[in-house]
Chains A and B, each alone.
Chain A
Amino acid sequence: MKVFIIIPAYNEEKKIKNTIKSVKRLVDNVIVIDDGSSDDTSEKIKDMGCTVIKHNFNLGQGAALLTGFEYALKKNADIVVTYDADGQFKASEIPLLTQPIISGEVDVVLGSRFLGKTINMSFTRYLILKLGIIFTYLFSGIKLTDTHNGFRAFSKKSINTIKFYQDNMAYASEILDQIKRNNLRFKEVPVTVKYTNYTKKKGQKDINAMRIFFNLIVQKLD
């Protein structure tokens, strides 16, 4: 089975090289989506043997993943793993996500930091993620321990089925909604998420949770 990894990256010139080095040996193909970076993200990795797809403008993580999914399907990927570029995840846990799909047990595997381990997570982030779990259950009817984790794996069938439209971080909730609507088999696996000063500074601001909530309400009403 061909395993592709999709890494959306925006201004990650400091971290992207190490991230690719860590994942390369565990997958068949590494696809980096440079989402309109203004730094040298693409330049840093052009000789590392991975595929780099560059957006001319910053469109958001949702749009970057859509690009990655579309490309992976065109290249006949069987399994697609999504992974953050900033080094928050542990590459050694990739097989935990791919194995249930390879064995045919499920169509989608979702990483959960609350089943696994978090390092240096702030209390505010903990609170917002926990609220996210309640919100997801109310809106999508899907019960999970971690609803906004970028470490996921999808079978070819699920990528062909899941349709999401939010370009920004709200896509994460859309994906869960789609899993429920299309009755895709899924499971959560424990993963490690490490927060550093770099990732806290660069990552999602807590106020974005409000924006995600608003975007999803508007979409539900549409």
Chain B
Amino acid sequence: MNGAQILLGSVILFIIYKTFISYKQNKLNIRFTFVWIIFWCLSLFIIIDQTIAITVANIIGIKRGSDLVIYLSIIIIYFLMYIVFVRLNDIEKKITRKIRKDSIKKALKNKF
């Protein structure tokens, strides 16, 4: 194992540990915790045994394993951004609905 693998591996193990602690503190639900830990375990596996990334990259037609990892990371990031945007939009609509309903209720009671 080289220095980069040890450093990245340590960071990932720390992330997995923090995720587990957050779950124990009820800050995360079981589904998200499970998916997140699996994701980081796979990442750890790829860092330790890079031949997997190289093999898959060659099958797909990409030269280097690291390029495959970067492409996949970009796709995943954009997908997560989309999910966050949709959730934010939904929250904004709920807040608007609540504020409007409360305003109408107050007005019907002749208060503002």
**Chain A interface residues toward B at CB < 8 A:** 33-34, 42, 51-57, 59, 63, 66-67, 70-71, 74, 165, 167
Contact = CB atoms under 8 A, between A and B. Distances in A.
Interface residues of B, number: 13
Interface string B88-112: 0000110110011011101110001
Contacts of A33: 103
- The SS class assigned to the A binding surface is mixed
Interface of B: 92-93, 95-96, 99-100, 102-104, 106-108, 112
Given A53-B107, A71-B107, A63 B112 contact: no
Nearest to A32: B112
A55 B100 contact: yes
29 contacts: A42-B112, A52-B107, A52-B112, A53-B103, A53-B104, A53-B106, A53-B107, A54-B106, A54-B112, A55-B99, A55-B100, A55-B103, A56-B102, A56-B103, A57-B99, A59-B99, A59-B100, A63-B96, A63-B99, A63-B100, A66-B100, A67-B104, A70-B100, A71-B104, A71-B107, A71-B108, A74-B108, A167-B92, A167-B96
A165 B100 CA distance: 13
B95 to A, nearest CB: 8
